[in-house]
Chain A
Amino acid sequence: AQSVTQLGSHVSVSEGALVLLRCNYSSSVPPYLFWYVQYPNQGLQLLLKYTSAATLVKGINGFEAEFKKSETSFHLTKPSAHMSDAAEYFCGIIPNTGNQFYFGTGTSLTVIP
């Protein structure tokens, strides 16, 4: 089954430090991949998506992710964390059948002042 795995359910970084949230996928062919963010008491919001174009994808709020086929990864990064980045982040995948959407279990990001 095609799915995504998020390593680390909780990540803490200092304000201004690099943010790295990990996502690995399992798929025999390159799937479509996504990162969503969920702020407290808000609905999920799309950060960025990979749909087989450029492997380095830039999203909102300074986030970006790189699709690496050799590593089956789609890690999310941001050079400098801001307090407002504290939220739950979900990696997602559309398998090549295209008929469902799967989320990872999520990573809670804490930003320490």
Chain B
Amino acid sequence: DTGVSQDPRHKITKRGQNVTFRCDPISEHNRLYWYRQTLGQGPEFLTYFQNEAQLEKSRLLSDRFSAERPKGSFSTLEIQRTEQGDSAMYLCASSLGSATFEEQYFGPGTRLTVT
């Protein structure tokens, strides 16, 4: 088991472009979470899935953001019409079991830079 993986690790894009990030959770983990972390801040919760169902979305997740987990395994996070304020580290985590948010395993993150 290689842990949670995220791809790409770094992404540089121009303002207005769309970007998509992928997260592969630990196999058999039924819950998957997305966070955003800006410099000097703690991670901010964006959304989470239980299997393929998206159960909660933060108010931070504007209409330009969409996340999917179509088969209950990997997940994608898409940002449309990127803005400079979207520059951040995007973290993915997964967990197993019936208790949401407990014992999350985090990936290394995708660092997005919007120029």
Residues of A within 8 A of B (CB): 9, 32, 36, 41-46, 49, 51, 90, 92, 94, 98-106
Contact = CB atoms under 8 A, between A and B. Distances in A.
Interface of B: 3-4, 33, 35, 40-45, 55-56, 58, 91, 93, 100-109
Contacts of A90: 42-43
A102 B107 CA distance: 18
Contacts, number: 58
Nearest to B55: A99
B58 A100 contact: yes
Task: Label chain A's interface by main secondary structure.
Answer: loop
B100 to A, nearest CB: 6
Contact of B42 (A32, A41, A42, A106): A106
